[in-house]
C-alpha cells in the first residue's frame, strides 16, 4: 500500500482574522491540505494556531531564512501578513514596503523553479474607481491618488513569480471584510460604545465593496488551488452598499447616533488615511473569481450580519457590559 499523500500549506498571518477562518477551511474539500504550518511570533499565537490544528513556526516577516525553508517545503504559500499598519502616518514606501518586499523575496527563494503557488493579500481600495460609478474589475488601474502605495507589492509579487518560476497570484480584499463579530466593524462598534457615535463622511453616499470573512478565506484557498500564474482576483461579494447604510445599521443595533463630517472636517478629526477610507468610492466586482475559480460567496450580506447576525450579538454584549 502506498503511503498517504501529504499536502502542506504555509501561511504568513495565519493567526489573524482571515487566517483563522482559512485554518478552518484548508483541510476540507476541495482544498484537502493535510498539514498547515504558520509563522508565529509569541507563545500566545502558538496556542491559538495549535488549537486550530496548525503547526506554529517561530518567526515574523524578518525571519527570512525560516520563511525560505518553510516555503520550499510547502505545496502552497499564502501571505496575509504585512508590515503596514492601518492608519499609520508614515509613508508605506519607507515604513512597510521594504519589509514586505524582503519577505516576498524570501518566499520566492523557496519557491523558485517549483511552479508552486503563492497568493498575496492586497486590497481593491488601492485601485481607481470607475469615473461613472460603475463596477470595476481586476484591470482597473492603480488609483492616481491612492490611500497608500501597497499596490507596489502586487506588482512586485507577480514579477517575482514570472522571474523565478513559481505561480504568483494576488487576492484583492474588499475594504470591508466582515463577519463573526470581528474586523473593522467590531472595532468601530467598540469605539462607538465609548464615544456615543459613529461617523460618516460627506453623507456616506458612496458605495463600497464588502465580503464575508469566510468567503474571503475560501477565495485564497481556491486561488492557490486553481488560479493561474500572474492572476489577480477581487474578493468581493457586494458592491452596492453605501457607507451610510453600513454605519446606519451599526448605529441602530448599538443605539447610538451617526455624526456626519465633511471631507475637510474628517481629515482634521480623523486624519488623512481614515478620512479617505470613509469617503472613497469602491465597487470592485468579484465576477472573475466566480467564473474562473468557481468561487461562490455564501456568507450573509453585511447589512444582514449587522442587523440579525454576529454584530447584533456583539451589540448585545457591548450594551450588556455598560
154 vs 172: CA distance, rounded Å: 9
Across the chain, which has 322 residues, the per-10-residue mean pLDDT values are: 77 97 97 98 97 97 98 99 85 93 99 99 96 96 91 97 98 98 96 95 97 99 98 98 98 97 93 90 98 98 98 95 62
Going from N- to C-terminal start, the domains of the chain cover 8-177+210-237, 178-208+239-282+300-320
- Write the pLDDT tens digit of every residue in 239-269: 999 999 999 999 999 999 999 999 999 999 9
- Write the pLDDT tens digit of every residue in 147-158: 889 999 999 999
Q: How many CB atoms lie within 10 A of CB 292?
A: 15
E strand spans, the chain: 8-12, 35-40, 55-58, 76-79, 117-123, 167-173, 176-178, 197-201, 207-212, 232-235, 238-242, 257-261
Residue 134's Cα: distance from chain center in Å? 23
- pLDDT in the model for residue 321: 66
Q: Which residue has the cell 468579484?
A: 286
155 vs 174: CA distance, rounded Å: 18
- pLDDT in the model for residue 322: 58
Measuring CA to CA, which residue among 112, 134, 122 is closest to residue 80?
122
Question: Is it true that domain 8-177+210-237 has CATH number 3.40.50.720?
Answer: yes
- pLDDT in the model for residue 14: 97
Q: Are 308 and 314 in contact (CB under 8 A)?
A: no
Amino acid at each position: 500500500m502506498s503511503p498517504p499523500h501529504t499536502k502542506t500549506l504555509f501561511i504568513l498571518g495565519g493567526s489573524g482574522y482571515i487566517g483563522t477562518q482559512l485554518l478552518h477551511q484548508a483541510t476540507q474539500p476541495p482544498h484537502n491540505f493535510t498539514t498547515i504550518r504558520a509563522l508565529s511570533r509569541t507563545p500566545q499565537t502558538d496556542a491559538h494556531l495549535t488549537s486550530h490544528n496548525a503547526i506554529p513556526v517561530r518567526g515574523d516577516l524578518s525571519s527570512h531564512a525560516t520563511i525560505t525553508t518553510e516555503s520550499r517545503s510547502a505545496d502552497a504559500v499564502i501571505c496575509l501578513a504585512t508590515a503596514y499598519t492601518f492608519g499609520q502616518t508614515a509613508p508605506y514606501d519607507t515604513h512597510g514596503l521594504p519589509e514586505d518586499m524582503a519577505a516576498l523575496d524570501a518566499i520566492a527563494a523557496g519557491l523558485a523553479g517549483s511552479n508552486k503557488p503563492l497568493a498575496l493579500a492586497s486590497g481593491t481600495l488601492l485601485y481607481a474607481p470607475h469615473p461613472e460609478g460603475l463596477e470595476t474589475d481586476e484591470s482597473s488601474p492603480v488609483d492616481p491618488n491612492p490611500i497608500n502605495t501597497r499596490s507596489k507589492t502586487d506588482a512586485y509579487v507577480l514579477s517575482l513569480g514570472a522571474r523565478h518560476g513559481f505561480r504568483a497570484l494576488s487576492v484583492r480584499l474588499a475594504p470591508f471584510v466582515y463577519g463573526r463579530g470581528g474586523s473593522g466593524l467590531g472595532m468601530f462598534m467598540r469605539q462607538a460604545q465609548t464615544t456615543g457615535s459613529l461617523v460618516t463622511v460627506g453623507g456616506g453616499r458612496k458605495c463600497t465593496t464588502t465580503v464575508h470573512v469566510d468567503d474571503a478565506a475560501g477565495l485564497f484557498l481556491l486561488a492557490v488551488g486553481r488560479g493561474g500564474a500572474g492572476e489577480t482576483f477581487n474578493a468581493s461579494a457586494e458592491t452596492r452598499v453605501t457607507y451610510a447604510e453600513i454605519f446606519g445599521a451599526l448605529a441602530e443595533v448599538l443605539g447610538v447616533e451617526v455624526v456626519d463630517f465633511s471631507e475637510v472636517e474628517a481629515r482634521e478629526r480623523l486624519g488623512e488615511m481614515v478620512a479617505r477610507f470613509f469617503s472613497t468610492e469602491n465597487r470592485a466586482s468579484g465576477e472573475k473569481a466566480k467564473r474562473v475559480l468557481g468561487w461562490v460567496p455564501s456568507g450573509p450580506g453585511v447589512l444582514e450580519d449587522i442587523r440579525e447576525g454576529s454584530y447584533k450579538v456583539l451589540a448585545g454584549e457591548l450594551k450588556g457590559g455598560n
